[in-house]
Amino acid sequence: MVVGLFGGSFNPPHQGHGLVAEIAIKRLGLDQLWWMVTPGNPLKDPSQLLPLAERVRLSEKLAKHPGIKVTAFEKKFGTTFTAETLARIKAGNPHVHFIWIMGADSLKTFHRWQRWQDIARMFPIAVIDRPGATLSFLSSKMAKTFDFARVDEDDSRALWKKPAPAWTFIHGPRSRLSSTAIRAQNGA
């Protein structure tokens, strides 16, 4: 089984997140996508977060594809950082082939995540295009560090077969929606 892991605050989730998930499922040939709603993000202000249960509920409402499973693994595991959570998922599912899914907008700060290089060495990564990130992704620290491990987009369906580190950048339809803009519009 090939499973995409798509983590984030989803504060709030929006159609742009849904588009990233559906592009990943289609282009990577995923059997499932686990939409991982995090209790918090150490790089973001926790006072701005909607309650976890609300973000899970909104994500479930948004995630229409039958292969998407909305989860709150970090809360269940009691982990704070993505690397810890992914290590637990990997240990608990030794026969599953995982791909870490991220929007291209997250790539510019990926090097600030705790143990980001361990994440890149744990699972192949699929970076899905987002507005404003199409050209700048190549200048990210992750792209430069793991340039040797880049897989051509045309080969993205076989990404799960590649030993990590391996990553690809997938172009496709983009949504200009952002959680930050939605919160600002709603006065949060």
pLDDT tens column, 161-181: 999 999 999 987 544 544 444
Cα-Cα-Cα-Cα dihedral sign, residues 87, 88, 90, 91: positive
* Structure tokens that stand for 28 in this block: 């990577």
pLDDT greater than 50 at residue 151: yes
What is the arithmetic mean of pLDDT over 66-72?
Answer: 96
Predicted local confidence at residue 6, as pLDDT: 97
Q: What is the pLDDT of residue 109?
A: 85
Give 141: exposed, middle or buried? Use CB within 10 Å, 0-12, 13-18, 19+: middle
Domains defined for the chain, CATH in brackets = 2-174 (3.40.50.620)
- What average pLDDT does this structure show over 40-54? 79
Which ranges of the chain does DSSP label H, i.e. alpha helix? 15-28, 52-62, 73-77, 82-92, 104-107, 116-122, 141-145, 179-185
Which helix (H) or strand (E) segment holds residue 102: the answer is strand 97-103
Q: Which residues lie across from 35 on neighbouring strands?
A: 6, 70
